[in-house]
Amino acid sequence: MSDDARRGIDELLAIMARLRDPDRGCPWDVKQDFASIAPYTLEEAYEVVDAIDRGDFDDLRDELGDLLLQVVFHAQMAQERGLFGFDEVARAIGAKMVRRHPHVFGDAQYEDLDAQARAWDAIKAAERAAKGDAHDASALAGVSRGLPEWKRAQKLQQRAAAVGFDWPDHRPVLDKLAEELDEVRAEFDAGADPARLEDEIGDVLFVAANLARHAGVDFSRALRHANAKFERRFRRMEALAAAGGAPLAGHDLAAQEALWRRAKAEEAAG
């Protein structure tokens, strides 16, 4: 690490310590704990991804700073409790990266990326065993419950696939998705019991995550793009409605659908 980088980290650590000072700090910062800060940590991580998606590297620099602040915030709270400090966090992740990359920092060699992934999982299993978690011998052991559920679904599917429990390609996944959608329709036809609908729609979402995995598509990125597309077209609908002299809410569904098709056609035309 360069001297400038070290100074930057030291300054940030000092700022965070001052913000948390019970006598001279910020009342809001002093009041926070791990649980209250956790949602901000997730939010900042997503804002980093959003900046990358938009290709805005000035914004990315700022968002990475916000995310680093979250790490510093949690480390400061841990230090106050005598648990660990920022330096221990940095040393721990450094040691982990060296340990998990024996092909870079040691003499190990892998035939391909699949072999490297299997070795990675084996190293993680050994780490869990060293922590006393060896009693869980399942292939699914160690899949964090703190992940977004779509990501946890794909992690579970990847672990199952590693022992051979997987479809050969996307085609049977599409068939399974159609089957699950039929079951949702059947639940609606039967009276739409909320608990059953939740179960069946959950199955649809699980299979959709599996389809994205088989397609090599990032589920979260695909959904972000779909959200952005919907927002872009909806805002255009609102503009078209306003240009016609009435707000979008003043149009019936058929008229709104016509505006949607127009917005979509304009977008396709470029």
Nearest 5°: the CA angle 129, 45, 158 is 45
Confirm whether pTM is higher than 0.85.
no
Supply φ then ψ for residue 171, to 5 degrees.
-65, -50
143-189 per-position pLDDT tens digit: 888 788 988 999 999 999 988 999 999 999 999 999 999 999 999 99
Count of beta carbons in the 10 Å neighbourhood of residue 210: 24
* Cα→Cα distances 26→10, 19, 22, 73, Å: 19, 5, 8, 13
Q: How many CA atoms lie within 13 A of 193 on its CB side?
A: 8
pLDDT of 248: 95
Residues of the chain where predicted confidence (pLDDT) is lower than 50 = none
Q: Contact 161/168 with Cβ under 8 angstroms?
A: no
Task: Please give the pLDDT value at position 15.
Answer: 98
